[in-house]
A and B are shown apart, each in its own frame.
Chain A
């Protein structure tokens, strides 16, 4: 019999069109899915592990690459052959559906069935389904196959038939049934052998690789079962919606009556409805966030697990190490040319991103409905394409490496791009400003789930942008034949930008800056081109400013572009500063018990070890290094802005912690407000962030990662500087070393020279190894007492712009 059916499947299904297969699979999925919710709920309510496993089987099935299954004859066969016992169980729950849901299912089924081109192949599918479900096909002779199927789903069978139909359900109890069936089918025994489901504590049901037949893109991970909290909230919402519906019905009824009493009741009802609607909205929002976070957390853990498993299987493989580099990978600006071409078709933002964005930004753009996956109308004139070089720099300047931040109003507010400009104001914008307003506006529109198509404000900005570019071209129109010399226009622009790059590089090289500084300079160049100096260059280009200073030949400048490009390619910095992270519970930090540290509790210096002299040469402290960037002062008047941006890029923790950053002379000054309602309540909290900021990345990335011993060393530094700020020697350091570098001014912690502070703290960190040799240190205990989320958050922020 089984053999015959299989033959029938193979014989008949080859005649099914792909469209039919899709429709059938679609109907199949739809039925199963709807039944599944009830089945899952029932299994959860009863804590029925077998049921849960079976739900997991079905969910895994539904999680398969549907299209691939549906597109192949074999896939469809597998679909209902491999899992029908579980489906049967699930479908039983269809009988308990309420009328409304049932009606919906019925309508959907009808749609599926009526849209499929019925013929012998389709009939076979239904017949097969019915037979497998324990309904002998001959029972339905004389009745249409569709009616038979509906009858089954609707539970309109006779009692006798129902009893008969229960038999196979018992036989097919959970996985045993599945196994039996597969074994009987012979060919599927291997599938069952590989099936290994387990219920984890996190409500995560997973199956090992190869649990199901391998398909090209078969998701090998897991389906999720909502946590108890989510289920409770869903139920609460459901009840609230029912209540709302009832109240609305009551209100409608009252509308038909009259009288003072009714009027009062009506008023109350209206208020209750409004309250309820608000509560539903609030709970929906809260629940949505919780549910998304739940999925992300579970999924993320599952991916980690997959990598762990892969590593376990091949201990010597660099799998895990590569995985740890995923963020770095996506910071790479390695967009293939065809991706760029796609992006360039997508409005202004696409053009901007096409010329500079990282893989991460391209992906973020895709999440918002743009990016790699779609084409689009070119909104800005094609002329902009010839200005790639400019856009590349500008993209850096507006922080487009992080599209999500670029789109946020908060971010725009900090940069002044959030203002809705009048037509007159738009016409007064420079090119640089226009680019920034445009980039933010388009990103924000996407971020709000809207589109810029036909948006008048967006159109005004883009029109202005195009007109500025067109005006600039006037200077490159040949007077004799009135033709625009695009090449000359382009080269002139390249020359100006390259000239600035060259000057910066020369200035930097003259100071023998170390490699990491050079990388920093690359960022600086990007920023320079994007904001300050780009403005200058472009103003020369458009004859808005003075003639540029004499530079090397154009050929020389352009030939050096290769070097500049290399520099730019090295930078992996995602853009301008992060928004402050989620509010953390600072109270957890306030509760640090410093009595855990013997030397702090006793405030004794007697145990202070001698600091090795070579670790702390006095000249390093008292003769600070000449600022490496001072030559840039000669290169541009935009130095302060550039230095600030550079600092923010390289010290994301400081800005995210609320530090007020400014440039005084050639020094970076940082101020934290230390009082209730300020940046922090305790200066230790600000110091913790500063010390975390200066903690060497290489130690974070070493074999043990950022361990509690590392955190203990950070705490050691916090203690050192706390004491030094109180004018007390500590850990071998004299308070005089921080003179003119860091101090408390009233309620403010003022760091006047961050570069020197970094140097001193690096020394203190070296010394801290003496105090924090291992986990037994009191500083480690302090670190452990600090909310772990704070360390995680600081570490995330620190590593967001990581350069190795």
Chain B
């Protein structure tokens, strides 16, 4: 199965985590979500040039959410695609490793 097919698949069923205790499932999912965030941030960093990285940092530091939205719309118009890709990839990677 390729990553794109996994985007909309529930990771619980994909990794067959249904039988794990809830607290364990919760912790794993939290950790997976955290890694996913890291992955996406790395993709952003690698996509943006140095000046844009500085600008993004500035917006985050100053909580300028409106400007941040505009920045992302303009500079990373394919953010959604990046998220899809990383989402599918992390599900695939974990699934592949477990299998």
Contact = CB atoms under 8 A, between A and B. Distances in A.
Interface stretch (A10-18, A401-409, A706-714, A738-746): A401-409
B24 A289 contact: yes
Interface string A448-463: 1100000000000000
A582 B26 CA distance: 10
B28 A292 contact: yes
B88 to A, nearest CB: 8
Query: Mostly helix, strand, loop or mixed at chain A's interface?
Result: helix
Nearest to A582: B27
Contacts of A310: 45-46
A368 B10 contact: yes
Interface in A573-593: 579, 582
B48 to A, nearest CB: 9
A372 B80 contact: yes
Nearest to B19: A285
Given A329-B60, A363-B37, A369-B11, A323 B45 contact: yes
A373 B2 contact: no
A775 B22 CA distance: 41
A405 B26 contact: yes
A570 interface: yes
Contacts of B45: 307, 310, 319, 322-323
A300 B35 contact: yes
Contacts of A220: 46
How many chain B residues sit at the interface, stated as a range, is 35 or more
Interface in A541-569: 569
B33 A447 contact: no
Q: Could you say which of A314, A317, A372, A373 has the most chain B C-beta atoms within 10 Å of its C-beta? A: A373
Contacts of A307: 42, 45
Nearest to A62: B96
A288 B17 contact: yes
Contacts of A66: 2-3
A569 B65 contact: yes
A296 interface: yes
B53 A295 contact: no
Contacts of A518: none
Contacts of B24: 285, 289
B68 A314 contact: no
A373 B83 CA distance: 9
Nearest to B50: A317
Contacts, number: 180
Interface string A353-384: 00000001001101111101110000000000
Interface in A322-368: 322-323, 325-330, 332-334, 336, 338-339, 360, 363-364, 366-368
A36 to B, nearest CB: 11
Nearest to A333: B65
Interface string B27-59: 111111111111111100110001001101100
Interface string B6-22: 01111111011111101
Interface string A431-469: 000000000000000111100000000000000000000
Contacts of A294: 97
B35 A299 contact: yes
A310 B18 CA distance: 39
A281 B11 contact: no
Contacts of A224: 97
A292 B32 contact: yes
B37 A326 contact: yes
A404 B4 contact: no
Given A288-B15, A307-B42, A314-B50, A369 B32 contact: no
Interface of B: 2-4, 7-13, 15-20, 22-42, 45-46, 50, 53-54, 56-57, 60-61, 63, 65-66, 68-69, 72-73, 80, 83-85, 87, 89, 91, 93-94, 97-98
20 contacts: A288-B16, A289-B28, A291-B97, A292-B28, A300-B34, A303-B39, A310-B45, A310-B46, A318-B57, A322-B57, A326-B38, A327-B37, A334-B69, A366-B87, A368-B10, A372-B80, A409-B22, A449-B10, A569-B66, A570-B65
List 6 tightest A-B contacts by C-beta distance, closest first: A369-B10, A449-B12, A326-B41, A374-B8, A373-B7, A449-B13
Given A318-B53, A363-B33, 16 more contacts: A66-B2, A66-B3, A67-B4, A289-B20, A296-B31, A310-B45, A321-B57, A326-B41, A327-B34, A328-B60, A330-B40, A363-B36, A369-B9, A370-B8, A408-B22, A804-B61
